Structure 1
């Protein structure tokens, strides 16, 4: 990926859902338990990427440590995310039921997710001398203009505080 010189921001407008999902390997020696959990996400992402109407915007993958992985996802809205999660004909449902059947509460693998609903105009991103990344990779980037305090003012206003 090419580095885009300068200070950029994403070109997304409107509401957004940020979905953080990941897994933690608690017992490395039980490869047959945690590897299927790790491998389950790829087919889901391929399915979502092939269907622009799904509301899925894109994702970034990261290793947080030698035992923990994280996937940062961007969605159009919560309803789209929930519709996918509950769709019994999509890849997520069988992966979720397999996790519950094969892992359940045995402690081999930990999974987690966090969901953040962001109102339109209530997010901020800055990419300085970076290749396309995160929301900017999927929504495109534009030069970040204005004062360095503009983000602080916008974020405080959207959070319901009036301090500057």
Structure 2
């Protein structure tokens, strides 16, 4: 069954600090399956752990994308401290040690991550005729109003509310 489509334009609250963490892998040598498959198969266990322990871990939501050679996971976190604590947790640490033991410095697979710390009021989103998606799964999803009609207004909404 498909996700419910919210007709019209929607946005999100931007009144809390957030962390966006992007992680992925690239298959550099398609036929070297033994070298890249362990990297690919390590993620489902960690994703399950995140969703089963969201509140405790500070994990908010995520989206996955799969291309011919590259995968990417965009995740949203409550804080930088929560993300860093998870990186030192058992599931992630085991996967990282296993990766280094099995793959090491092979060029058959590449991995990457990017971390963005976003202070409240310094991010915005717009969704037109979409299911709840991306950032909207992590924070409050709400209809666009006159106060949030443009990107500039959405970015300034927190500063306006907190200004004297």
1:1-164 alignment, distance < 5 Å: 1-11=3-13, 13-51=15-53, 52-63=55-66, 65-87=67-89, 90-146=90-146, 150-152=150-152, 155=155
Q: How many corresponding residue pairs?
A: 155
What SS does structure 1 have at the residue aligned with 2:50? helix
From the two aligned structures, give the one with the greater helix fraction: 2
Distance 1:12 1:40, change over 3 A: farther
Distance 1:15 1:96, change over 3 A: same
How does the TM-score come out when normalised to structure 1?
0.86
Q: Deviations over 1:40-59 (max 9, x none)?
A: 11111111111121000011
| CA–CA distance in structure 2, aligned partners of residues 107 and 40 of structure 1 | 18
| CA–CA distance in structure 1, aligned partners of residues 108 and 17 of structure 2 | 37
| CA–CA distance in structure 1, aligned partners of residues 50 and 110 of structure 2 | 24
| CA–CA distance in structure 1, aligned partners of residues 127 and 84 of structure 2 | 30
State the Cα distance separating 1:125 from its structure 2 match: 0.6
| CA–CA distance in structure 1, aligned partners of residues 40 and 46 of structure 2 | 11
Q: Deviations over 1:63-102 (max 9, x none)?
A: 2x31001000000011000001012xx2100110111111
What SS does structure 1 have at the residue aligned with 2:104? coil
Q: CA RMSD in A?
A: 2.0
| CA–CA distance in structure 2, aligned partners of residues 150 and 2 of structure 1 | 24
How does the TM-score come out when normalised to structure 2?
0.86
